[in-house]
Amino acid sequence: MAERPVGVTDQASGAGVAQVRTRERVIGADTISEQYVIPVPEYVEGFKLAYRGMVSTFRTVGLASANHNILTAFNKTGSTKLLLIRRLVIQTDETAALATVSPLVQTSRITALPSGGTVLTKVPFDTALTADTNCEFMGATASDGGAATTITSTAGTRAWADFKMRLHTAVGQVLMPDESLVPELCNDTPIVLRALEGLNVQVVQAALTTSHYLVNCMFEEHVAV
């Protein structure tokens, strides 16, 4: 189905002929043009997609201390891109009984650049697109179950929080589905991170070293047009 612009009179400004975006197709012996609209949220108007990618932490072992940062996403100083978070989920695994409160994991906005940690490699949806190094993701370990690489970042005001799974008695195996760390509507209406803005994902209370976390993120980088 080909795209076919159609000229229309620009009544608002009187500038002359503008164009309406249409798709062209043939029905019987007739060629018709059907108008279509690509919805764009107002707050990203004037930007276009520059990169779409995925990123995942390594399996992160819980710490016996509170406020354990397990992932940060940050749009650095001087960035000309918008970093859009569309999906952010966690999976948890418990390899021993945990009779106390379930792990509480929160997401918050931050405005200070995180340090430490392990910079995570972004994987593109389309290899023809190039990621911006100013849009950075960090995890709290450099290998699955490996030694901690502590992310230094102070969580902001709690924006989204949820209890994750725990085993009151450790019998058999329990596989948990993805648990969202941001509202589900972010698939259509993403969280926008401008220059010097980021997200912090943190396990709030002290945990056992038999608790394990894995965070996955789907994101986009947009550039001004």
Rounded CA separation 190/59 (Å): 26
pLDDT (tens digit per residue) in 158-168: 999 988 877 77
Sign of the CA dihedral running 159, 74, 189, 19: positive
Per-residue tens of pLDDT for the chain, all 225 residues: 555 666 666 665 556 666 666 777 788 777 887 776 655 455 567 889 999 999 999 999 998 888 999 999 999 998 999 999 999 999 988 888 777 788 889 999 999 999 999 999 999 999 999 999 999 999 999 999 999 999 999 999 999 998 887 777 766 666 677 889 999 889 889 999 999 999 999 999 876 788 899 999 999 999 988
* Encoded amino acid at 66, one letter: A
Please give the single-letter amino acid code of residue 181: L
- In Å, how far from its chain's centre is CA 217? 4
Query: pTM for the complete prediction?
Result: 0.79
Cβ within 8 Å of residue 50, ≥6 positions away: 81, 129, 130, 132, 221, 222, 223
